[in-house]
Structure 1
């Protein structure tokens, strides 16, 4: 669990869900991008005095929201997340390394649909400031990508054009505001 994340101040930073978003994007029919998010999530980033760093996160699968109720119910079904059986998506970092003063790679294990796979995310430190209530905050933008099929979420339908109804590739996009513990 090594890191040299010099721009993020030392300490434990807890994600503030009221000022953060855990989102995703997937191509629909190969021509349109459907965006979604999870409404219930938690996470933390700890930066040690020695430069060590760890990150963890959980998402409540049933909180998926794509702004279309019927689609959201389908995503909760066994065709996709199977929220009744696999209630959470979890992430635990194994290594965090600096790319430059503001960018770092977060490598870890993500568990979706009961299957754990390695993933590397890119995080950009957006800055730190004190909010009007005296809390110190940091901002992070985190991006990554998974393939649904790696997590046994293979529901799909071939279209006459040769496109698939739902892309296998899913882009992850997290906008994080975290408060110092």
Structure 2
């Protein structure tokens, strides 16, 4: 599919966007899944074909369908939402998608710690006024100060899955 994306400003549609995480726990026997209920973002497609912007999630909005676990994940062992309520991905370098994919390089910030992150985004839908992107990537939670691992229960990397729909902003 050939994707043509208009230059200009784009705003994330939170009602049509999701950011979720999954991580194997209990020595790899159980996958804990959670969804962030609040996501915002904006971006700009420049005339040279590059893009920049930011997507932010409210870390306090994480829901794993277990209130006690959610409270622990929001605490200082993990997201520390009292001090760092927002997780953000600031896009520094992205080209307008060729065919149906785009490499996006940016800075992921969790718990006040930032690390470069590159993701491959797939165009799920596009029109003159909207574009839908789907992506999945892994994150080493320890590089963001989330090293809690009682009895070695949590190993490996967390998987982040995002489906993001942006609407073109009319100036």
Deviates more, 1:27-36 or 1:89-98: 89-98
Give the TM-score of the pair, scaled to structure 1. Answer: 0.85
Partner residue, 2:41: 43
The 1-side partners of 2:4 and 2:139 are apart by: 27
Residue 21 to residue 146, structure 1, CA distance change in 2 (3 Å): same
Give the drift of 1:61. Answer: 1.0
Partner residue, 1:69: 67
Aligned match for 1:155, one of 145, 148, 151: 148
The 2-side partners of 1:8 and 1:144 are apart by: 24
Residue 106 to residue 142, structure 1, CA distance change in 2 (3 Å): same
Equivalent residues of 1:38, 1:61 under 8 A apart = yes
Give the drift of 1:8. Answer: 3.1
Structure 2 unmatched ranges of 5 or more: none
Equivalent residues of 2:49, 2:95 under 8 A apart = no
The 2-side partners of 1:128 and 1:45 are apart by: 15
Structure 1 unmatched ranges of 5 or more: 131-135, 159-163
